[in-house]
Chain A
Amino acid sequence: MHDSLLTHAKSRYLWISLALCVVSIILYVWHDPGIAPNGGSWLGYTLGTVAALLIVWLMLFGIRKRSYSTTIGTTLGWLSAHVYLGTALILIALLHCGFQFGWNLHTLTLVLMLLVIFSGFFGVYTYLRYPTLMTRNRESATRDAMLEEIEEIDQNALSLADGIAPEIHGVVLRSIENTRLGGGVWTQLRARDGSDIAISRVRAAIEKRETQIGGPPPAMQAGQTMLVMVDFLAGQADDKQSEALRKLIDMLSRKRSLASRVARDIQYQAIMEIWLYIHVPLSVTLLAALVGHIISVFFYW
Chain B
Amino acid sequence: MAERFKIAIVGSGPGGLSAAARAAERNESHVLLEAEPHLSNTIFQYQKGKFVMDEPGILPLRSPIPFEAGLRETILGAWDDATTRLKVNVRHQHEVSAIKRRDDGIFEIKCKNGQSIEAEAVVLGIGLQGNLRKLGVAGEDLPFVQYQLDDPEAYEGETIVVVGAGDAAIENAVALAKQNNVVIVNRKDEFGRAKKGNEAAILKAIEDGTIECYYNSAPEKVEALSAGRKPGRMILNTANGRAQILLDRVIARLGATAPRGFVEGCGVVFPNKDPASVPAISAQYESNVKGLYIVGALGGYPLIKQAMNQGYEVVEYITGTAVEPADAPLLKAKFTNLKGIGSVDQALAQIQKNVPVLSHITPLQMREFMLDSDIRTPAEGEVIFERNDYTNSFYSIVEGEVRIAVEGRPAPVILRRGDFFGEMSLISGRRRSATVTAGANCIMVETPRRSMNKLINSVEAVKAEIDRVFIIRAIQSRFASEANAAQLAEMASHATLQRFKAGEYVFKEGDEGDSLHLVRIGSLTISRLIGGKDIVLTYVAAGNYVGEMALMGESSRSASARAAIATETIRLDGKAFKQLISRIPALKLRLQKEFKERTAANLAMQAMPGGGDIISFLMAQGAGEATDILLIDESLCVRCDNCEKACAETHGGTSRLDREAGPTFANVHVPTSCRHCEHPHCMKDCPPDALRRAPNGEVFITDNCIGCGNCERNCPYGVIHMASKPPKKPGLLQWLLLGRGPGPGEAPYDPKATKDPKAKKAVKCDMCKDQAGGAACVRACPTGAAIRISPEEFPTYAQSRR
Q: Which residue numbers of A lie inside 8 Å of B, CB to CB?
A: 1-5, 8, 63, 65-71, 74-76, 78-79, 126-127, 130-132, 134-135, 140, 142-144, 152, 156, 269, 272
Q: How far is the CB of B618 from chain A (nearest CB, A)?
A: 14
Q: Is the CB of A69 within 8 A of B776?
A: yes
Within 8 A of A (CB), among B707-746: 732, 744-745
Q: How far is the CB of A136 from chain B (nearest CB, A)?
A: 9
Q: Is the CB of A131 within 8 A of B638?
A: yes
Q: Is the CB of B639 within 8 A of A76?
A: no
Q: Is the CB of A134 within 8 A of B667?
A: no
CB nearest to A130 among chain B residues: B638
Of B170-178, B368-376, B777-785, the segment with at least 4 beta carbons within 8 Å of chain A is: B777-785
Across the interface, B639 reaches (CB within 8 A) one of A65, A74, A134, namely: A134
What are 27 A-B residue pairs whose CB atoms fall within 8 Å in the complex?
A: A1-B796, A1-B801, A2-B636, A2-B785, A2-B787, A2-B801, A65-B780, A65-B782, A66-B645, A69-B771, A69-B773, A69-B776, A75-B780, A75-B781, A75-B782, A76-B782, A76-B783, A76-B784, A78-B782, A130-B638, A131-B639, A131-B783, A135-B635, A142-B660, A142-B661, A156-B208, A272-B639
Task: Give every chain B residue within 8 A of A5 (Cβ-Cβ).
Answer: 782-784
CB nearest to A126 among chain B residues: B638
Within 8 A of A (CB), among B640-677: 642, 645-646, 649-650, 660-661, 663-664, 667, 669
Task: Give every chain B residue within 8 A of A135 (Cβ-Cβ).
Answer: 634-635, 664, 667, 669
Across the interface, A66 reaches (CB within 8 A) one of B664, B732, B797, namely: B732
Q: How far is the CB of A244 from chain B (nearest CB, A)?
A: 15
Task: Give every chain B residue within 8 A of A142 (Cβ-Cβ).
Answer: 660-661
Q: How far is the CB of A241 from chain B (nearest CB, A)?
A: 20
Q: Is the CB of B773 within 8 A of A70?
A: yes
Task: Give every chain B residue within 8 A of A67 (Cβ-Cβ).
Answer: 732
Q: Is the CB of A269 within 8 A of B639?
A: yes
Bound-state CA distance A76–B664 (Å) is 22
Bound-state CA distance A4–B667 (Å) is 14
Q: Is the CB of B634 within 8 A of A66?
A: no
Bound-state CA distance A134–B773 (Å) is 31
Q: How far is the CB of A234 from chain B (nearest CB, A)?
A: 22
Q: Is the CB of A152 within 8 A of B649?
A: no
Since A8-B784, A67-B732, A75-B781 are in contact, a sample of 18 more A-B pairs with Cβ atoms closer than 8 Å, ordered by chain A residue number, is A2-B636, A4-B784, A5-B783, A69-B650, A69-B773, A70-B773, A71-B773, A74-B773, A74-B778, A75-B779, A75-B782, A76-B782, A78-B782, A127-B638, A134-B634, A135-B635, A135-B664, A142-B660
Within 8 A of A (CB), among B751-802: 771-773, 776, 778-785, 787, 789, 796-797, 800-801
Q: A68-B744, A75-B781, A156-B208 are in contact. Are A131 and B776 (CB under 8 A)?
A: no
Interface size on B, residues (CB 8 A): 41
Q: How far is the CB of B646 from chain A (nearest CB, A)?
A: 4
Task: Give every chain A residue within 8 A of B634 (Cβ-Cβ).
Answer: 131-132, 134-135
Bound-state CA distance A135–B637 (Å) is 9
CB nearest to B768 among chain A residues: A69
Residue from A2, A75, A134, A140 whose CB has the most chain B CB atoms within 10 Å: A2
Q: Is the CB of A66 within 8 A of B782?
A: no
CB nearest to A140 among chain B residues: B664
Within 8 A of A (CB), among B603-641: 631, 633-639
Q: A66-B744, A132-B634, A140-B664 are in contact. Are A79 and B732 (CB under 8 A)?
A: no
Q: How far is the CB of A19 from chain B (nearest CB, A)?
A: 23
Residue from A5, A79, A142, A152 whose CB has the most chain B CB atoms within 10 Å: A5
Bound-state CA distance A127–B773 (Å) is 25
Bound-state CA distance A135–B634 (Å) is 7
Across the interface, A68 reaches (CB within 8 A) one of B660, B780, B787, B796, namely: B780
Q: How far is the CB of A90 from chain B (nearest CB, A)?
A: 22
Q: Is the CB of A3 within 8 A of B784?
A: yes
Q: How far is the CB of B209 from chain A (nearest CB, A)?
A: 9
Task: Give every chain A residue within 8 A of B649 (Cβ-Cβ).
Answer: 68-69
Bound-state CA distance A99–B772 (Å) is 46
Q: How far is the CB of B778 from chain A (nearest CB, A)?
A: 8
Across the interface, B797 reaches (CB within 8 A) one of A1, A127, A140, A272, namely: A1
Q: How far is the CB of B621 from chain A (nearest CB, A)?
A: 13
Q: Is the CB of A272 within 8 A of B773?
A: no
Bound-state CA distance A75–B789 (Å) is 18
Q: Is the CB of B660 within 8 A of A79?
A: no
Bound-state CA distance A142–B660 (Å) is 7
CB nearest to B796 among chain A residues: A1
Bound-state CA distance A66–B661 (Å) is 23
Bound-state CA distance A66–B784 (Å) is 16
Across the interface, B800 reaches (CB within 8 A) one of A1, A131, A269, namely: A1
B287-324 vs A, CB cutoff 8 Å, 1 = contact: the mask equals 00000000000000000000000000000000000000
Q: Is the CB of A131 within 8 A of B636?
A: yes
Bound-state CA distance A159–B664 (Å) is 34
Bound-state CA distance A69–B637 (Å) is 21
